[in-house]
Amino acid sequence: MGGKELGTEEQHDGAATLEAEGFSTLIVTERANRLTVRLHRPEVRNAIDQAMVDELHAVCSYLEASPKILILAGTPGDPDTGTKGIFASGADIAQLRQRRREDALAGINSSLFERIARLPMPVIAALDGYALGGGAELAYAADFRIGTPSLRMGNPETNLGIMAAAGATWRLKELVGEPMAKQILLAGKVLTGEDCLQVGLIGELVESAELSVAAEALADRIGAQDPLAVRVSKAVFHTPREAHPVIDTLAQSMLFESEAKFDRMQAFLDRKKK
């Protein structure tokens, strides 16, 4: 995290590099310990097309080399015009209709969302308006989800003659349990923001105008932790059950030798003495 003050608006070389990619579907901004990526195809409700997939892969490549917290967001609403915010309405249906068996076998969206889920540092999804189909599956891949009362989340794929094949069939069951997952996947149930909070699909419900502030506040809390400890904890959290407790012990042994462990514990002891 570079040792720079948290919250600085200073841009880094990495941000310039990402901007140099000439993104057409994303708006990317970078701060000292986080990257904010806004999906930006408002003319089609941020439908996820091949260009957006490619650009999100470029973001992943950068974050794998330079680990930072990732905030994923959509197009914010505009209270002056009455325009509502939107995360992502799903995959681009015009492109999806043309895809065939070979495209499905390539796992175009599923491989991207799995890559996002495995990023070294936590991923926060800030959700407003529609988060449907592939947009919902992108959100399921995040470590944290914050939503608004306007959020509408679900997987209507079976109504289009396909299935939710980019993580929903297993991530959703882990997140909300089998009965609710079947309501969403098999019966087309679309959840409101309040519904999402009640079933644990989001961890926080805020008004649309406060969504960015809430996402930044969560990133601040994560950023206040030791970055290495967060990275190791996330990796161990997602390790298969049969690898525990051995992996926990090995990971802890590495952290016990880190400089941050000694510095942070000494600071805690010093504060206790006061």
Say which amino acid occupies 116: I
DSSP string, 184-245: HHHS---EEHHHHHHHTS-SEE--GGGHHHHHHHHHHHHHTS-HHHHHHHHHHHTS-GGGTT
Cβ(89)–Cβ(136) below 8 Å: no
If one looks up domain 26-224 in CATH, what number appears?
3.90.226.10
Question: Domain ranges in the chain?
Answer: 26-224, 227-273
Cβ(131)–Cβ(152) below 8 Å: yes
| Block residue for tokens 């209270």 | 79
Cα separation, 89 vs 1, whole angstroms: 33
Cβ(109)–Cβ(123) below 8 Å: no
DSSP letter at 48 equals B
Say which amino acid occupies 43: E
DSSP letter at 83 equals B
Cβ(247)–Cβ(236) below 8 Å: yes
pLDDT tens series, the chain, 274 aa: 333 332 333 444 444 456 546 899 999 999 999 999 999 999 999 999 999 999 999 999 999 999 999 999 999 988 778 788 999 998 778 888 888 898 889 888 999 999 999 999 999 999 999 999 999 999 999 999 999 999 999 999 999 999 999 999 999 999 999 999 999 999 999 999 999 999 999 999 999 999 999 999 999 999 999 999 999 999 999 999 999 999 999 999 999 999 999 999 999 999 988 7
